[in-house]
A and B are shown apart, each in its own frame.
Chain A
Amino acid sequence: MNLTELKELCMLPGASGRESAVRNYLLKELEKLPLPDCLVQVDRLGNLIVQKQGRRSDVPRIMVAAHMDEVAMMVTDITADGALRFGAVGGIDPVAMIGRQVRVGADSIPGVIGACPIHRLSAEQRKQPPKTDGLAVDIGAGSREEAEKYVSLGDVITFAPEFHTFGDGKIAAKALDDRYGCSILLSLLREELPCDLTVVFTVQEEVGLRGAAVAANAVKPHIAVVLETTTAADLPDSENPVCRVGGGAVISYMDGRTVYDEDLYRLAVSLCEEQGIPWQTKTKIAGGNDAGAIQNSGARVLAVSAPCRYLHSPLCVMQESDADACNALLHALLKHLADHGAPAL
């Protein structure tokens, strides 16, 4: 895992539908590479599609995908006092919004989402979980007129960027979902590949798997592997941990959107067993990712995910070794598909 690059990717603002900073970073990195065998395209939704030649071309059409967008918020109203009301872009619990630092708009204006002091709330009110309606971003403006010099309706609000390494090889950062996936795929594109491959950095995953739907219909892959983060609830009081941070690459057989291809699932598991790549599966059918859309283009789909705590909050936590395991599995899959073709149905 290239931590420097992962940090740079995580620190960028990239709300769904506003992924340009992330896309431009990736484009700039791709430009640096001597890649005459590479075709780089951006479609009208903003998906970044890279077709790269490998050692073999006589293979099923393979697509690997990671999404560039992160959950965020958007300014819906500027009050007379200069406060910014907002709505969520993607699924964020207001509990994860209240009392945080944020950045607003293209100029990353610093702000906070405050809370009425508890001293001024009744005992009943203190027990009420926050609602998005009751929250606003404060950038320090004293009036609407002043606020409008710096921000506008429709400006994106992202969590203030942070990146920490801590504990026993763990990472806490904004937007690990799914900049970790983007980071792995960027590194992959710098290597010589065993077979032709289409790498897609998708848009708008968090608001309905929308970029993936368009990209898959254009690429028409036979096989697609989605590189994602998936929710780990391995906490002390948890009834069901779902999967464990530090437990290895998560290979899913099913989630809320997709029943994954059985042969691809078993292939991934056996490659891990053979090659000593730590792996696990989820003990709960929950969540969803771009595979949910890609499968509807006709592709056989698989998800290889890094277990990640605190998804859709300002700081996700993952284990670096899990990312390495996902990377190793991805390489093993590509090599196998290049050598043996698609697993028999």
Chain B
Amino acid sequence: MSTQWINRIMETAALRGVSGREHRAAEFLCEQLRQFAPDAVCRDGSVIGHIGAGEGKPRLMLCAHLDQVGFFVTDITPEGFLRIGAVGGVDRRLLLGQPVAVMGRKGELFGVISILPPHLTKGDQAVPEMEQLCVDLGFSDADAAKAQVSPGDAVYFAAQPMQLLNGRITAPALDNRCGVAAVMGAAELIAALPEDALPCAVTIVFSAQEERGSRGARLAALEECPDIAIAVDVTFAMSYGEKPYGCMELGKGPAIGISSTLDEALSQALICTAAAVEIPYQKEIMPDGTGTDADWLALAPGGAAAATVSVPLQYMHTPVEVADCGDVEQTAALLAAFAGRCRDL
């Protein structure tokens, strides 16, 4: 597992881009994508670029959402604390006492979500509602806080990306920066193919607002009219306390989705590709829809054959998400291998 991949993923995970406020992350990724798709642009928080000429070739879209779950400041209390609201599905069981970063007027501010100590609660704390939380910025009155922070400012988990054993890493926002890193890696591999070795016209999308209803993916599908669309997201990996089934495993490669809302032949084609180029893979069965951008990409004009290829992830939507960098690398390889073989289905 190369240090380069680990660093790339950690750097991507550190970008700030809560749903609806993706522009910083989008600009950074757009710049990076231009190395492989020179026409890449930012649009409405999404990034879109193209590799390979379009005429007569099937249009393949690789789409990874670049937004992350987080919070917005909703109010400033008279004491100078912040009230916050969640963006996307945040796990309220673990918010108390967490360090956060507030994107204020003059830059990032450090804060802590307040928690009562066991001396006073007698260990009896119920899971708080968002309205019961407050963020301590270390100010003593509202004026000091208002000088730097306003309602509508974005708030992120402040936990720093960190390496664990076995090429695994932990960071907030591995959902979906693992997917983004995989698609960026695939773009690099695809761009390196000679023109005549690429049977399709590839659109790379880093989509906005997946966590809030896939607005970015829906717009990209309308504009780009893909024939084949693969959503590259993260999916649940087995961990301590999980039910012993219905979950992927870290280190066993990308998860290829099979679902009522996905194209059956496309799922099969991805499986065949993985087998042919000896990339380890797992099958992820989602009977009732995928809950990813794929469900919306399939509704492109005229319909699109949609699939999911997902990076297994533990502890999703917490500050301590864990992924295997080898799985990310394998995901990129699978996407590039498929692009190299892609014909009309």
CB-CB under 8 A from B241, the residues of chain A are 116, 134-136
Question: Which residue in chain A gives the minimum CB-CB distance to B237?
Answer: A117
A-B pair count, CB < 8 Å, reads 206
- Whether B137 lies near A166 (C-beta < 8 A) is yes
Chain A residues with Cβ below 8 Å from B322 are: 112, 114, 138, 140
**Inter-chain contact B164/A139, CB cutoff 8 Å:** yes
State whether the Cβ of A339 lies closer than 8 Å to any Cβ in chain B.
Answer: no
B56 within 8 A of A: no
Chain A contacts with B in 129-147, Cβ cutoff 8 A: 129-130, 134-136, 138-142, 146
Tell whether A101 is near chain B: CB-to-CB under 8 Å: yes
Task: Please determine whether B97 and A116 come into contact, CB atoms closer than 8 angstroms.
Answer: no
Are A236 and B117 touching (Cβ within 8 A)? Answer: no
CA distance A140 to B314 in the complex (A): 11
Question: Judging by beta carbons under 8 Å apart, are B99 and A112 in contact?
Answer: no
Q: Is the CB of A138 within 8 A of B110?
A: no
Which of A15-23, A216-224, A290-298, A305-313 lines the interface with chain B?
A305-313
The residues of B that contact A111 with a CB separation of less than 8 Å are: 164
Residues on B with beta carbons closer than 8 Å to the beta carbon of A79: 240
Contact of A236 with B236 in the complex, beta carbons under 8 Å: no
Partner of B117, one of A117, A130, A134, A313: A313
Determine whether A162 belongs to the interface, using a CB cutoff of 8 Å to chain B.
yes
Chain B positions 117-146 with a Cβ under 8 Å from a chain A Cβ: 117-121, 123, 125-127, 132, 134, 136-140, 144
Query: Given known contacts A235-B81, A309-B114, A317-B112, is B239 in contact with A95 (CB within 8 Å)?
Result: no
Residue with the greatest number of chain B CB neighbours at <10 A, chosen from A81, A83, A95, A101: A95
* A99 and B98 contact, CB distance less than 8 A: yes
B225-274: which residues lie under 8 A (CB-CB) from chain A?
236, 238-243, 246-247, 250-251
Asked if residues A101 and B320 are in contact (CB atoms below 8 Å), the reply is yes
> Of A98, A170, A317, which is within 8 A of B94 by CB?
A98
Q: Would A166 and B125 count as touching, CB distance under 8 A?
A: no
User: Would A110 and B162 be within 8 Å (CB), given that A136-B241, A315-B97 are in contact?
Assistant: yes
- B134, A236: Cβ atoms under 8 Å? yes
B residues engaging A (CB < 8 A)? 77-79, 81, 89, 91-94, 96-99, 109-112, 114-121, 123, 125-127, 132, 134, 136-140, 144, 159, 162-166, 168, 170, 236, 238-243, 246-247, 250-251, 291, 314-320, 322
Which A residues are closer than 8 A to B by beta carbons?
Answer: 79, 81, 83, 91-93, 95-96, 98-101, 109-120, 126-130, 134-136, 138-142, 146, 150, 160, 162, 164, 166-170, 172, 231, 233-237, 242, 246, 256, 284, 286-287, 309-315, 317
Write 7 A-B pairs (CB below 8 A) sorted by A numbering. Answer: A81-B240, A91-B118, A110-B163, A136-B241, A167-B137, A167-B138, A313-B117
Known contacts A99-B320, A309-B136, A313-B117; can you find 9 more A-B pairs with CB under 8 A? A95-B94, A101-B320, A114-B322, A116-B242, A117-B317, A126-B92, A172-B99, A233-B120, A237-B134
